[in-house]
Structure 1
Amino acid sequence: MSDFYALTATLEDGTTYPLSRYRGRPIIIVNTATKCGFAPQFEQLQALYAKYQAQGLVILGFPSDQFHQELANGAEAAEACRTTWGVTFPMHQMLAVNGEQTDPLFAWLKAAAPGALGQTVKWNFTKFLVDRDGQTVTRFAPKTAPEKMIPAIEAALAAPASH
């Protein structure tokens, strides 16, 4: 499995950056869909971001239309997240989380933390918590409310980075 920090992500505006920019910080990565029944989780994720950002937590949203519940593109999805849910964490371009076109980030996450269906993202709002070292990945089901992640988030924030 490749190094997490060697992977890149592309923001909604088309800017590509290395995930190494977040080295030493716990990261929640979530595949999102603005028209999904789980969309109210945006508000809960934003609350976690507001509470823990100063301690180092990063939340990254990745729109995906693989389940046919997203707007036309990542920019439209990000705008809907900001205006409807007050999201201030980084949102990215639309990507594939399953199948032949799976984005390398999600391929890495699924290999690091397989779910009940193996290396498949079951639905929108599957959440992955990556530790400060880009190693340990904890996977949370779409139906898991973000506030249920608080013990794992606090543990990740309390753990020192090894590099």
Structure 2
Amino acid sequence: MISFLQKSYPAILLTMLLAVASVIMTYPAQARGPFVFDSMDGGSLSLDDWRGQPVLVVNTASRCAYTRQYDELQALYDRYRDRGLVVLAVPSNDFRQELATNDEVAEFCAINFGLDLPMATITPVKGAAAHPFYKWLAGSEGFTPRWNFNKVLIAPDGTVAGTFGSPVKPMSGQITSRIEAFLAKG
């Protein structure tokens, strides 16, 4: 009896691990849960608070050629916010194009773009110091921002519905068609 268990133990363990893995693979990775950003206005911004809503998360910078996309981010938010869209700006200095302080970023965005969308404090988005959301994104989706104004669309169920590089404008059909599809279902 003992020799049977010793010989079959690795096979039993492997079978159990494969069963667990198949259950895990059945469920898509979700961006909901413990991902909390410090808010530019004080307090916190939790992706979990927006469960059931599409969320566009964008790493931003004030001194970038793409900074003019703030206008489209605000326009996108204005167009769809009453239907449930959240646009979260995440300023980052990972590409050395952000202002020095959160106060400077907030003032710059208010004066130049009239932003009233949710905005995190200056946050790392890549490397060892990256925010947990961006670490999760790199690990589960293989996506790390390569520059400022990369966009991540989170579906209402918490899965990643799309990732978009800097050149893709917030009001592009690539993004708005997906948002509208989610909002039509809701």
Say yes or no: TM over 0.5: yes
Deviations along 1:27-86, one digit per CA (max 9) or x if unpaired, are 000000011000110000100100000000000101000111100123321221111011
Report if the CA contact (8 A) 1:45-1:146 is conserved: yes
Q: 1:141 aligns with which of 143, 161, 165?
A: 165
Mapping 1:1-163, distance limit 5 Å:
4-114=32-142, 119-148=143-172, 149-160=175-186
Q: CA RMSD in A?
A: 1.7
Displacement of 1:3 in angstroms is: 5.4
Displacement of 1:2 in angstroms is: 6.8
Report if the CA contact (8 A) 2:45-2:120 is conserved: no
Residue 88 of structure 1 aligns with an amino acid whose one-letter code is: D
CA distance in 2, matches of 1:9, 1:95: 8
CA distance in 2, matches of 1:31, 1:152: 19
Q: Which runs of 5+ in 2 are unaligned?
A: 1-28
Q: Which has the higher helix share?
A: 2
CA distance in 2, matches of 1:151, 1:125: 19
Q: Which has the larger radius of gyration?
A: 2
Aligned-pair identity in percent equals 36
1:52–1:112 distance in 2 versus 1, CA, 3 Å: farther
Q: Determine helix, strand or coil for the equivalent of 1:30.
A: strand
CA distance in 1, matches of 2:31, 2:69: 29
1:9–1:48 distance in 2 versus 1, CA, 3 Å: same
Report if the CA contact (8 A) 1:38-1:124 is conserved: yes
Greater displacement, 2-11 / 69-78: 2-11
Displacement of 1:112 in angstroms is: 4.1
Deviations along 1:76-132, one digit per CA (max 9) or x if unpaired, are 212211110111101111111111101001112333433xxxx42100000001011
Report if the CA contact (8 A) 2:31-2:154 is conserved: no
Displacement of 1:11 in angstroms is: 0.2
Give the TM-score taking structure 2 as reference length: 0.78
Residue 153 of structure 2 aligns with an amino acid whose one-letter code is: L
Give the TM-score taking structure 1 as reference length: 0.88
CA distance in 2, matches of 1:24, 1:75: 31
Report if the CA contact (8 A) 1:62-1:93 is conserved: yes
